[in-house]
Chains A and B, each alone.
Chain A
Amino acid sequence: MTRLIIEIVVLAGLALAGVMIALGANAYVVQLLFSTALAVTLAVGWNLIGGMAGYVSFGQVAFFGLGAYAGALAMLTWALPWPLAIVLAASLAALLAWPLGRIMLRLSGIFFALGMFGLARVAQIIVNALAITGGPMGTSIPTAEGPAATAMAMVALATGAVALTMAISRARFGLRLAALRDDAIAAAAAGVDTSRVKVMAFCASAGLAAAAGALYARNVGYIDPASGFAGTIELQTVLMVLAGGIGTVWGPVLGGVLISLLSTVLWARFPTEQQIILGALTLVLAIAMPGGLASIPPLSLWLRRPPLGVFKPTAFTPTAMEKAPAAVAVNGESAVLACRGLGKRFGGVVAVAGVDLAVAPGEILAVIGPNGAGKSTLFDMLSAFSAPSSGEIRFRGAPRGTMPPHLLARAGLARTFQTSRLFPRLTVFETVLLAATSHHPRWRDAEQATSALLVATDLVGDAERFPDALPPGRQRLLEIARALALAPAVLLLDEAMAGMTVAEIARVQAVLRAAAGRGTAIIAIEHVLPAIAPLAMRALVLDNGQTIAEGAPDAVLADPVVIEAYLGVDAMALAS
Chain B
Amino acid sequence: MSADALLEVASISAGYRRVVILRGINFTLAPGERLAVIGANGAGKTTLLRAIMGQIPLSAGQIRLAGEGLDSASIAARARAGLGYCPEGRQLFPMMSVAENLELGAAGAGAAARMRRREAVLEIFPRLQPLLGRAAGLLSGGEQQMVAIGRALMGEPRILLLDEPSTGLAPRIVHELYAALARLSAVAILVVEQNARAALRFADRAIVLADGAIVAAAPAAELRDDPLVVSAYVGAGRLAPA
Interface, chain A (partner B; CB < 8 A)? 370-372, 468-473, 495, 497-502, 505-506, 527-528, 530-534, 554, 557-558, 564-565, 567-571, 574-575
Contact, CB under 8 Å: B19 / A372: no
CB distance from B164 to the nearest CB of A (A): 9
Q: Which residues of B contact A564 (CB under 8 A)?
A: 171
CB distance from B139 to the nearest CB of A (A): 13
CB distance from A344 to the nearest CB of B (A): 17
C-alpha spacing A500/B43, complex, angstroms: 9
C-alpha spacing A565/B170, complex, angstroms: 7
C-alpha spacing A377/B195, complex, angstroms: 22
| Residue from the set B43, B141, B195 with the largest chain A CB neighbour count within 10 Å | B195
Q: Which residues of A contact B201 (CB under 8 A)?
A: 570
Contacts known (A530-B236, A568-B197, A570-B201); A472 close to B42, Cβ less than 8 A: yes
Q: Which residues of B contact A497 (CB under 8 A)?
A: 235
Contact, CB under 8 Å: A527 / B41: yes
Interface, chain B (partner A; CB < 8 A)? 16-19, 21, 40-43, 141, 167-168, 171-172, 174-175, 194-195, 197-198, 201, 211, 234-242
Since A498-B41, A530-B236 are in contact, a sample of 5 more A-B pairs with Cβ atoms closer than 8 Å, ordered by chain A residue number, is: A501-B235, A534-B237, A564-B171, A568-B171, A568-B195
C-alpha spacing A501/B236, complex, angstroms: 9
C-alpha spacing A471/B20, complex, angstroms: 8
Contact, CB under 8 Å: B19 / A470: yes
C-alpha spacing A371/B173, complex, angstroms: 14
Contact, CB under 8 Å: B168 / A506: no
CB distance from B91 to the nearest CB of A (A): 16
Contact, CB under 8 Å: B237 / A533: yes
Contact, CB under 8 Å: B235 / A568: no
Q: Which residues of A contact B195 (CB under 8 A)?
A: 568
27 intermolecular pairs with C-beta atoms under 8 Å apart: A372-B141, A471-B19, A472-B21, A472-B42, A473-B42, A497-B235, A500-B235, A501-B211, A505-B236, A505-B237, A528-B41, A530-B235, A530-B236, A530-B239, A531-B237, A533-B237, A533-B238, A534-B238, A558-B241, A564-B171, A567-B240, A568-B174, A568-B195, A568-B197, A569-B171, A570-B201, A574-B197
Q: Which residues of A contact B171 (CB under 8 A)?
A: 564-565, 568-570
Contact, CB under 8 Å: B211 / A554: no
Q: Which residues of B contact A469 (CB under 8 A)?
A: 18-19
Q: Which residues of A contact B167 (CB under 8 A)?
A: 371-372
- Work out how many contacts link A and B, with CB atoms closer than 8 A: 84
C-alpha spacing A370/B197, complex, angstroms: 14
Please list the 10 inter-chain residue pairs (A to B) with the smallest Cβ-Cβ separation, ordered nearest first. A499-B42, A372-B168, A530-B237, A498-B41, A568-B171, A530-B234, A371-B168, A557-B241, A505-B236, A469-B18
Contacts known (A371-B167, A558-B241); A502 close to B234, Cβ less than 8 A: no
Please tell me which one of the listed residues B234, B236, B237, B240 contacts residue A575 in the complex, with CB atoms under 8 A apart.
Answer: B240
Contact, CB under 8 Å: B235 / A468: no
C-alpha spacing A264/B45, complex, angstroms: 57
Closest to A533 in B: B237
Q: Which residues of B contact A468 (CB under 8 A)?
A: 16-19
C-alpha spacing A575/B240, complex, angstroms: 7
Contact, CB under 8 Å: B234 / A531: yes
